[in-house]
Structure 1
Amino acid sequence: MANLIEEFANQIEELYKLGAKKFSVLSVGAIGCVPIMRALNHNGDCVDQVNQLSRSFYAVISSLLQQFSSQFPGFTYSLGNLYGVTMDTILNFVVEGLKDIRTPCCGDANTTCALGVTLCNNRNEYLFWDMYHPTQVATDRAAKILLFSEAAEFVQPVNISRLAAMP
């Protein structure tokens, strides 16, 4: 992960030197909860060791962006916590109108979505489209949260719409 963070920092710094001042950054989601990872876990639950990597990545990126904010004049950012958004969706899936947060709508946890695989009847009831990716309804929910939420557990220091409105 150190190489990834170092490369990320280099790219952000280079963009800043080229004149970029506003940055919208999204962390990694709860990748330990995608269907293929659940299938690898003997009990079908999220794989916490993998989710720990997501949480660690968010913490390091958050610290790095805070450092850049104090180091580079005019540097502003919005950091979206996709791990937090995904876990909130999983914990509140019934409220969100979802019926299945474990299995994919298209195919199964070990098969990619392709011509001829089983497709669910109502994709709006599923969190995952295939063994890796969220459905459109899950993505729409995440986008609305990242754009408009004031909750620090999802976006900080500001949401994307506030970042866009800054001079």
Structure 2
Amino acid sequence: MMGNNASSYSMTLVIIFGIFIFRLSCSKAQEVPAMFVLGDSLVDVGNNNFLPASIAKANYPHYGMDFPTRRPTGRFSNGKNAADLLAEKLGLPSPPPFMSLIANKDTSAYTTGVSFASSGAGIFNSSDIKLSIPLTTQIGYYEYVYQNLVGMLGQSGAQDRISKSVFLIVVGNNDIFDYFGSRDLRNQNTPVAFIKVMARTLKVLLKRLHASGARKFVVPGIGAIGCIPLQRSMTPTQECNEDLNALASAYNHVLKTMLQELKSELNDISYSFHDTYAVAQNINQNPATYGFTELKAACCGLGKLRAQSPCLPVSMFCLNRRDHMWWDLIHPTEATDAILVDAMFDGPLQYNCPINVKQLVAV
């Protein structure tokens, strides 16, 4: 009799403990009910697959070879990208591409987040909007989702959910590439003037997001884009393009100042700026610490440094993606993104200003 009672008592404790853990995990999830992603190819999870005229797609091998499905999904990576990895940190499913939800008339995913990111997108609209989804259009799509959430949850319910959600904004790389590649842009603006206009324009767009409920922003700076394989392949010594790096670094300083100004104007927002540039340079200076043996060449591509073409089905690819910093001529490997996201999520203030993402979630 006592044995049965003891067994029942133990089972009761197990059930109570299980309920406690379940509620604890649910309460954590409720702190970040959703993540919305806007930006470029670094966080595109397949939106460009739905743009018939776009050539900026990653829906063919060898992209996705290390993704759980082992198939190309539209991510410009061998596996998961930064958006996927940050969603995992937040205990969320990876936000699906908005264009797929529209195509399938599926609104069920709106409550846990959506990705609007598009390869080729920048702060400024591209001259050919058929090739990518400009940031202004991405925000328009988000506003559509927000109105749907209001219809589903009511005004107060939608606002409560959105105010606790994380907005990941990864953009600016293509604008700087465009500036360096366009004589007209260089004639119109000095480098300093150009990056200031970039920051001012982004500020206006962030205010639009705020007007539709956004309160928590994660805004990574631009990385050391002068060190991507494409840029290294253009120099005889395979060194970084330091002019490009200098402009990226200068923009990051302007971006940090803009975010501080935005916070003073909209005191109900919180943000985390992540210094991607500093983390990337730390990897470049201490590759072995991060498990890398190859910093210059892409893993997948053709020609010099495998950077003379995108990662095409006919391309050569490295056998060990974990020891390469770069997947293709422009984009990092999943291994690199994992390092960046770790530093972004709970890294020191050396890389995050004024708080990291984990602290942002707790605000």
1:110-154 Cα offsets, whole Å, 9 max, x none, are: 1211112111111101000010000010011111110010232x1
TM-score, normalization by structure 2: 0.44
Which residue is equivalent to 1:165?
A: 362
Which residue is equivalent to 2:63?
A: none
Q: Distance in 1 between matches of 2:200 and 2:266?
A: 17
Q: Tell me which of 180, 197, 206 is aligned to 1:12.
A: 206
Q: Tell me which of 323, 326, 347 is aligned to 1:125.
A: 323
Q: Distance in 2 between matches of 1:123 and 1:18?
A: 40
Which residue is equivalent to 1:53?
A: 247
Which residue is equivalent to 1:135?
A: 333
Question: Residue 36 in 1 paired to residue 230 in 2?
Answer: yes
Per-residue deviation, 1:4: 2.4
Which residue is equivalent to 1:148?
A: 346
Asked if the contact 2:349–2:355 (Cα under 8 Å) also holds between the matched residues in 1, the reply is no
What amino acid is the match of 2:334? Answer: Q
The CA RMSD measured in Å over matched residues stands at: 1.2
**5+ residue gaps in structure 2?**
1-193
Query: Which of 107-116 and 136-145 deviates more?
Result: 107-116
Per-residue deviation, 1:5: 2.0
Q: Distance in 2 between matches of 1:117 and 1:17?
A: 45
Which residue is equivalent to 1:83?
A: 277
What amino acid is the match of 2:355? Answer: V
Larger RCO, structures 1/2 (Cα 8 Å, 6+ apart)? 1
The share of aligned pairs that are identical, in percent, is 26
Which residue is equivalent to 1:94?
A: 288
**5+ residue gaps in structure 1?**
none
1:9-49 Cα offsets, whole Å, 9 max, x none, are: 11111222333221110111110000010111231111100
Asked if the contact 2:219–2:273 (Cα under 8 Å) also holds between the matched residues in 1, the reply is yes
TM-score, normalization by structure 1: 0.94
Q: Distance in 1 between matches of 2:213 and 2:325?
A: 38
What amino acid is the match of 2:315? Answer: V
What amino acid is the match of 1:17? Answer: A
Which structure: larger Rg?
2
What amino acid is the match of 1:88? Answer: N
Runs (4 or more) in structure 1 with deviation over 6 Å come to none
